[in-house]
Structures are given as C-alpha cells and as structure tokens.
Amino acid sequence: MIVRVPASSANLGPGFDSFGIAWQLYDEIGFQIAEETVISGCEERFCNEQNLAFAAYRRVLERCGVRDASGVAIRFGRTGIPVSRGLGSSAALIVAGVMAANEHYELGLSREELFLLATEVEGHPDNVAAALYGGLTVSAMDGGRALTRRFPVSDKLIFTALVPPFELSTALARSVLPSAVTREDAIFNVSRGALLLRALGDGDGELLAFAMDDRIHQPFRSRLIDGFRTARIEAQECGVRGMCISGAGSTLLCVSDRQDFADRMETSLEMALPGWELHVLTPDLSGAMIAAM
C-alpha cells in the first residue's frame, strides 16, 4: 500500500501550535506486512525503528490492542518534503504510519481517531491536522482531546517557501521559547490570529500584512535562522505581504498578492542568499490518502 501525505506549514505567524496549512508537495511511503520490520529508501539515519512512520504505526497497534502483529516493510518512495525544514516532514510520516496501520489491520478508525493518535505521537496538532485533512486548519487541544476545523483560503494569494540549506530541529526551536507570555502579547496574538483567518479567506493582502505578525515564538526563533533578516528585506522589496517562519523553521513562508512575486523573489534569493531554494506552494485540499493498495 502507498500512502501519500502533503507537506504543511504550522503556526502561520500568530497561530502557534494551532494553525496549519497543507501544500501540494508530497511524500509517498509504501507499507507492506512482512515477517520482519525493515525500513528503507530514506537517509541512513532514519532507517531504524525510531523512524516516525514506524513509531506511529506501532502506536496504533498498541492502542488498539493488536497482539502478535507481523513486521512491516516501510519503503520511502517519492519524498518531496524537505526534511527538518519546518514543512511538516515529521507529521507526514506520523500520518502515513497511523493510516497504514488502520488499513493493514482493518481497525476501522475514523479520520478523527487517526488525528488524535497522530497528535499524541507528534505532541501538538497543527501539522498533523493539515496533513490529514488538507487545507487551512485550526486545531485545539483540551486534555486528551483534540479538535480541528477547516477554513477557506483565497486563490488570489501566492505562497512561496524560502528553504535554507540547513536543518533546524523542532526541539531546539522550542527550547528557546519562554514558558510564559504577558497578557499584552497574548492579546496581540489572539487578535491577529482571528484577523489572519479572514485575510487568508478573503485574499486581503493589506490585512494579511498586519495579521501575520507574532510575539510568542518568532522573535526568539528568528535568530536561529541565519539569513532571516536578509530574506525579510529581499521579500519586502519583491512585494511580500506577510512573511512568517514555517512551523519551527528553518523555512520562511512568504504570502503575496502579486503574481510576479515568486519570479522576483527567486532572482533576489539567488543573489542575496545562495544555497536557499524557492518553492511555489499551492494549498492541498484533499489531505492524506491511500494512493495505491
């Protein structure tokens, strides 16, 4: 069986640990019941039982009380999602793992149940919601429960990922965050988060420029991304409306309403930040799926 899962960007500025959006950029991962567990087709460092696709697969079997499960052969085919760059590569593996276990053992888990299990493995719901359901999602946790809803995204907006040539671990990017925020900063983020949903839905560039700002995580994380300031200056010159760190980074996500933004930005990036890659991103509205049995 092949599971196809989209890339995703979490946070989108003010929506820390709750907003996510899926992209038409995919990983395809094959799962086959086998005598022994074998993980192949990915970088050597991930070909072991710590691989998140396998960890998620096993978690579902444990949770559903499946005893005497066979091994599983997991083979990475097309891997379009850059690894450890803030584009949801971990969430994609987790979502693939929970979906494959559900199919292999005919567990009949609903998408909502798969979402809860995937969130448990990932630790927060933002990327897994987008990867599983597709589209722009807002998720919330309440103890052991997690819920998510989808919101519209205007096709007037141009989304561009600026991907640096270095990884940034989510653990490191979370470790630099303060554990408490002031009331002022909480109000700053809540108000912008709500307005951002409206800006994305309406394709309102002016509102977006205001609403994509954040005080909870980006001020602390931007210094971990070498080139952040340069990228922001270049993006502003090319007509960006909003720019944020994609997930925990290192990728930067630009949103513009200028049709020529990506072309202009590509030229600027080549000059100012050699080694960085630009991907034009289109929202994925389908979410993860079993692409072949």
Q: Is 126 in the site for ligand HSE (CB under 6 A)?
A: yes
Q: CB 211 → ligand HSE: shortest distance, Å?
A: 18
Q: Is 13 in the site for ligand HSE (CB under 6 A)?
A: no
What is the rounded distance in angstroms from the CA atom of residue 241 to the CA atom of residue 200?
Answer: 11
Of the candidates 8, 17, 72, 243, which one interacts with ligand HSE according to CB under 6 A? Answer: 17
**Mapped to the 3 state alphabet, what secondary structure does the chain carry?**
CEEEEEEEEEECCCEEEEEEEEEEEEEEEEEEEECCCEEECCCHHHCCCCCHHHHHHHHHHHHCCCCCCCEEEEEEEEECCCCCCCCCHHHHHHHHHHHHHHHHCCCCCCHHHHHHHHHHHHCCCHHHHHHHHCCEEEEEEECCEEEEEEECCCCCCEEEEEECCCCCCHHHHHHCCCCCCCHHHHHHHHHHHHHHHHHHHHCCHHHHHHHCCCCCCHHHHHHHCCCHHHHHHHHHHHCCCEEEECCCCCCEEEEECCCCHHHHHHHHHHHHCCCCEEEEECECCCCCEEEEC
Task: Compare residues 4 and 124 and give the one whose CB is closer to ligand HSE.
Answer: 124
29 near 77, Cβ under 8 Å?
Answer: yes
Please report how many Cα atoms fall inside a 13 Å half-sphere around the Cα of residue 230, on the Cβ side. Answer: 13
Q: CB 86 → ligand HSE: shortest distance, Å?
A: 7
Q: Is 264 in the site for ligand HSE (CB under 6 A)?
A: no
C-alpha pair distances (Å), 130 with each of 32, 214, 231: 25, 20, 26
Task: Compare residues 12 and 42 and give the one whose CB is closer to ligand HSE.
Answer: 12
Of the candidates 207, 211, 231, 248, which one interacts with ligand HSE according to CB under 6 A? Answer: 248
Per rule CB under 6 A, count of chain residues that contact ligand HSE: 12
Of the candidates 8, 11, 119, 160, which one interacts with ligand HSE according to CB under 6 A? Answer: 11
Instruction: Please name which of 17, 50, 32 lies closest in space to residue 123, comparing C-alpha atoms.
Output: 17
What is the rounded distance in angstroms from the CA atom of residue 220 to the CA atom of residue 73?
Answer: 40
Q: Is 10 in the site for ligand HSE (CB under 6 A)?
A: yes
Q: CB 104 → ligand HSE: shortest distance, Å?
A: 27
Letters for 199-238 (x = contact with ligand HSE by CB under 6 A, - = none) are: ------------------x---------------------
Task: Compare residues 102 and 127 and give the one whose CB is closer to ligand HSE.
Answer: 127
Q: Is 124 in the site for ligand HSE (CB under 6 A)?
A: yes
Of the candidates 89, 127, 137, 218, which one interacts with ligand HSE according to CB under 6 A? Answer: 127
Task: Compare residues 59 and 124 and give the one whose CB is closer to ligand HSE.
Answer: 124
Task: Compare residues 248 and 253 and give the one whose CB is closer to ligand HSE.
Answer: 248
Q: CB 48 → ligand HSE: shortest distance, Å?
A: 21
Candidate segments 47-55, 94-102, 122-130, 184-192, binder of ligand HSE by CB under 6 A: 122-130
Task: Compare residues 17 and 204 and give the one whose CB is closer to ligand HSE.
Answer: 17
Q: Is 174 in the site for ligand HSE (CB under 6 A)?
A: yes
Question: Which residues make up the interface to ligand HSE (CB under 6 A)?
Answer: 10-11, 17, 124, 126-127, 170, 173-174, 217, 247-248
